[in-house]
Copies of this chain bind each other. A is one copy, B any other.
């Protein structure tokens, strides 16, 4: 097991001191480093195939070249896309990316927050399970570890999110224009901001026309719960459309409708939210709202690296599909 060369060996080979090597490594060529010196150092670095050891640098600087993304479930494609955005920006900046999966568990999220302090990461992109542990976040802040919340809002913390409320309002207006009138809404969990914002946007659109929903149900952001909820409300109420708070739930609604003999979109309009990639495989094609997951990740990472974290609201876009289509007035 051979040891990699150190900065001292590079210095020796180049006939300079370690600090000089350090300077060229970090672009602190002072005001004007003699080009010949620089070249000799570069040559020595190349010769030895030298790479600085991150741990030593981190210890000295009290800060590692690492970004972290802490999210509820990496196997959810929406979050995976967001993580991809973070990783891409981090990589270009020469940083590594830690992936922290809280598994939708607040205690695990809290434990990860402590771990990230121990790692002295540059910054954390946090997609919280619900309301995150404030103590843990405060301790990070006290040590200069920046935290930016993505996708879901947390009061008092800078957040990069999509304009869920406006998106949901526009989506609902789209359904209304198509002639749908008896609309039910299956919302996400009430402790998640996106769920509340999307519900609010839905209600905004109805209220603007002096209408009200046939019914509103909260449920987790899952296929199964949406499937069960849809079955229940379709059995009990007269309605011509169901809007679900995300695509996964919308597909659950489609299956429920199918099993109850309600044809989509003729007998029932269905809409989702997120525009996740796999949704493109479902037929009929889902009417939904595109949320720029990857873009949220890149923006969050960029802010963390630049040290200028401030809230940002990203625009969304309606994706018309086949699950909602014009219908005659009844």
A69 to B80, alpha carbons, bound, how many Å? 14
Mark A93-110 against chain B: 1 for CB-CB distance below 8 A, else 0. Answer: 000111111010000100
Write out the residue numbers on chain B whose beta carbons fall within 8 Å of the beta carbon of A278: 77, 278, 281
**Residues A59 and B51 in contact in the complex (CB < 8 Å), given A81-B75, A251-B281:** no
Q: Is A228 in contact with chain B by the CB < 8 A criterion? A: no
Q: Is A144 in contact with chain B by the CB < 8 A criterion? A: yes
A98 to B91, alpha carbons, bound, how many Å? 12
Q: Is A142 in contact with chain B by the CB < 8 A criterion? A: yes
Cβ-defined contact, A2 with B88, below 8 A: no
Q: Is A114 in contact with chain B by the CB < 8 A criterion? A: yes
Partner pick for A144 among B1, B96, B97, B120, CB 8 A cutoff: B1
Write out the residue numbers on chain B whose beta carbons fall within 8 Å of the beta carbon of A119: 54-55, 96
**In the assembly, how many copies of this chain are there?**
2
Q: How large, as a class, is the contact surface on chain A?
A: 35 or more
Write out the residue numbers on chain B whose beta carbons fall within 8 Å of the beta carbon of A53: 59, 118, 120
Q: Is A153 in contact with chain B by the CB < 8 A criterion? A: no
A142 to B49, alpha carbons, bound, how many Å? 14
Cβ-defined contact, A55 with B64, below 8 A: yes
Cβ-defined contact, B64 with A74, below 8 A: no
Cβ-defined contact, A75 with B120, below 8 A: no
Cβ-defined contact, A98 with B101, below 8 A: no
Mark A72-94 against chain B: 1 for CB-CB distance below 8 A, else 0. Answer: 01110100110110011001000
Pull 13 A–B residue pairs with CB atoms less than 8 Å apart, ordered by A. Answer: A2-B142, A3-B143, A49-B139, A51-B118, A55-B59, A56-B59, A59-B59, A75-B81, A75-B84, A77-B77, A88-B103, A96-B100, A98-B99
Residues of chain A at the chain B interface (Cβ within 8 Å)? 1-4, 49, 51-56, 58-59, 62, 64, 66, 69, 73-75, 77, 80-81, 83-84, 87-88, 91, 96-101, 103, 108, 112, 114-115, 117-120, 139, 142-144, 223, 251, 277-278, 281-283
3 smallest CB-CB distances across A and B, nearest first, come from: A278-B278, A55-B58, A99-B99
